Chain A
Amino acid sequence: MRAQFVLSETWIGLRRNLTMTIAVITTVAISLALFGAGLLVNQQVSEMRNYWDERITLTIYMCNDISPTAVCQENGPATDEDRSALQDKLEGMDQVQDVTYLTAAEAWQDFQERLGASNEALAAAAQEGDIPDNFRVQLSNPEYYDTVRAAVEGSPGVDSISNDQRVLEQFFGLLDGLKWSALLVAGVQLAAAALLIGNTIRLSAYSRRRETGIMRLVGASNFYIQLPFLLEGAIAGLVGGLIASGFIVATRFTLLTRVEEWFQFDIALGTGALMYVIGVSMILGVLLCTVTSFLTLRRYLKV
């Protein structure tokens, strides 16, 4: 095996079809960047899901003197019996892991702590008593949300039950949509890239048909004849993958960081997750190009 010979043939092929090579690299880079972005969003979403699944709680607000809802207006503020009955009921449920009762004062304190730093105006406007006393219910599994909610809704003294899951679902739905559209566009782009590579390799095989004809005649092995073309595809795929990696890193540090800032998640995708996405994209790029080259050669380079 003469590595130098194979490499120089590969280089000649890449240079001879320079415009096609550039087209291939660009298409591969764009499609892989989209694909990688889709994977990143996917990872981010699943990390955030885990984060929220652990923390998702049901907050049951009790009626107090100033509750505006019809239920509370009708029945008056919750009594201590209502509270202890509800607590017993919740603690008796299998789906409930933990129940914490917060008095109105504790709830206000908690509110101040959570919002005080980022939204001082809102924190200052709220007064003790604005937030009614409530039960924080930790579920043993987030799936039980609806069951528990249905069980306590309408119990005496209950004002409202917070619905943070629905809000989160909308947000996750948005991210899912983003992910799938990125992957869809990536798929179409990858198909286009495959066709372009096929064309490039076909041109390359055609422009070197004299050489390959002679190689065949003097008994060069099929592998030896095909290798420069396969490498040509693989190198185009690799360069495209490298450019895509740049885009992926940029996406990670601009778009996703901003998403995290907006939603004040203290979770960020680690370097490991980023390397995983880059690795998968690069391997996909090189594989796609090499396999397409191989299939093209079977048709256009009779050996």
Chain B
Amino acid sequence: MIHFDNVTKVYPTQKRPALDGVSIDVDKGEFVFLVGPSGSGKSTFLRLVLKEEKPDKGRVHVAGKDLARLSNWKVPHLRRRIGCVFQDFRLLPNKNVFENVAFALEVIGKPRRFIRKVVPEVVELVGLEGKAGRMPNELSGGEQQRVAIARAFVNRPQILLADEPTGNIDPATSIGIMKVLDRINRTGTTVVMATHDAAIVDSMRKRVIELEEGLVVRDQSRGVYGQAY
């Protein structure tokens, strides 16, 4: 599903590569944690998957497509197959829960009938049934993140990228968020989650890829956050 072949990325203002010859394979339906300190290259990895950045060396394949050969006007179609969740939720404050989720479908031109049908389903899937009419500022952080997940997943993407989705949320609420992500993973969606949250990684027992200074230092199935010696 995601295939990195010897990928190097250097940002113009920096000498040290953000990713340095990284080769990673993520299969369809996998759940992968991306761990490592700040500046280790986790976000760069996610940006390369979305083709927000181009690699300086190496090849990136996503959902069977070679991104180097994907023309710019086709990038939106790539992004429709990828859902994104961020630490800061990125909800629209002037739209309620339903409208925030529906927005993702409206802007890719889905018919209204379809939107009325699928949005309530996804809102229920993330555990917000009965709160579709609430505004974001009336929701807790955990609930806002659920809305963001619903928006990312409403178009049934093949891949869900999550960049520290529990970074702004207390540990108890984080467990709920992880359950939602796990539920989404069980529908066959590949989930890649960048995180600093050791407790979550340890409890989930999923594949862990650890990056450090742009290098893959560990790739372990059913791993934990810290080095397992």
Task: Give residues in A with beta carbon < 8 Å to B.
Answer: 1-2, 5, 210-211, 213-222, 224-225
Interface pair A219/B80, CB less than 8 Å apart: yes
Interface pair B77/A217, CB less than 8 Å apart: no
The 9 A-B pairs of least Cβ separation, nearest first, read A219-B80, A219-B79, A220-B107, A218-B104, A219-B76, A215-B107, A221-B76, A5-B106, A217-B84
- Smallest distance from the beta carbon of B29 to chain A beta carbons, Å? 21
Within 8 A of A (CB), among B101-134: 103-104, 106-109, 112
- Chain B residues with CB under 8 A of A219: 76-82, 108, 155
- Chain A residues with CB under 8 A of B155: 218-219
Interface pair A5/B90, CB less than 8 Å apart: no
- Chain B residues with CB under 8 A of A220: 76, 107-108
Given A1-B109, A2-B109, A224-B109, CB of A214 within 8 Å of CB of B76: no
Looking across the interface, which residue of chain A has its beta carbon closest to that of B78? A219
- Chain B residues with CB under 8 A of A225: 107
Known: A2-B112, A224-B107. 11 other contacts (CB 8 A): A1-B109, A2-B106, A214-B151, A216-B79, A217-B84, A218-B80, A218-B84, A218-B108, A219-B79, A219-B80, A224-B109
- Chain A residues with CB under 8 A of B80: 218-219
Q: How far apart are the CA atoms of A248 and B59 in the complex, in Å?
A: 60
Looking across the interface, which residue of chain A has its beta carbon closest to that of B152? A218
Q: How far apart are the CA atoms of A5 and B81 in the complex, in Å?
A: 22
Within 8 A of A (CB), among B7-33: none
Interface pair B109/A214, CB less than 8 Å apart: no
Looking across the interface, which residue of chain A has its beta carbon closest to that of B106? A5
- Smallest distance from the beta carbon of A222 to chain B beta carbons, Å? 7
Within 8 A of A (CB), among B35-72: 50
- Smallest distance from the beta carbon of B82 to chain A beta carbons, Å? 8
List 27 contacting pairs A-B, 8 Å CB cutoff, sorted by A: A1-B109, A2-B109, A2-B112, A5-B107, A210-B90, A210-B92, A214-B90, A214-B107, A215-B107, A216-B76, A217-B84, A218-B80, A218-B84, A218-B104, A218-B151, A218-B152, A218-B155, A219-B76, A219-B79, A219-B80, A219-B81, A219-B82, A220-B107, A220-B108, A222-B73, A224-B109, A225-B107
Q: How far apart are the CA atoms of A213 and B151 in the complex, in Å?
A: 14
Interface string of B210-228 (1 = CB under 8 A from A): 0000000000000000000
Given A1-B109, A219-B78, CB of A214 within 8 Å of CB of B73: no
Q: How far apart are the CA atoms of A2 and B81 in the complex, in Å?
A: 20
Interface pair B76/A222, CB less than 8 Å apart: yes
- Chain B residues with CB under 8 A of A211: 92, 103
Looking across the interface, which residue of chain B has its beta carbon closest to that of A210? B92
- Chain B residues with CB under 8 A of A210: 90, 92
Q: How far apart are the CA atoms of A211 and B76 in the complex, in Å?
A: 15
Per a CB cutoff under 8 Å, which of A1, A218, A224 touches B79?
A218
- Smallest distance from the beta carbon of A30 to chain B beta carbons, Å? 35
Interface string of B144-173 (1 = CB under 8 A from A): 000000011001000000000000000000
Q: How far apart are the CA atoms of A147 and B228 in the complex, in Å?
A: 107
- Chain B residues with CB under 8 A of A214: 90, 92, 103-104, 107, 151
Q: How far apart are the CA atoms of A224 and B78 in the complex, in Å?
A: 16
| A217, A224, A225, most chain B CB atoms within 10 A | A217
Q: How far apart are the CA atoms of A210 and B77 in the complex, in Å?
A: 20
Q: How far apart are the CA atoms of A5 and B112 in the complex, in Å?
A: 11
- Chain A residues with CB under 8 A of B77: 219
Interface pair B107/A218, CB less than 8 Å apart: yes
- Smallest distance from the beta carbon of B12 to chain A beta carbons, Å? 16
- Smallest distance from the beta carbon of A217 to chain B beta carbons, Å? 5
Looking across the interface, which residue of chain B has its beta carbon closest to that of A302? B52
- Smallest distance from the beta carbon of A301 to chain B beta carbons, Å? 14
Q: How far apart are the CA atoms of A14 and B206 in the complex, in Å?
A: 49
Looking across the interface, which residue of chain A has its beta carbon closest to that of B80? A219
- Chain B residues with CB under 8 A of A221: 73, 76, 108
Looking across the interface, which residue of chain A has its beta carbon closest to that of B105? A218
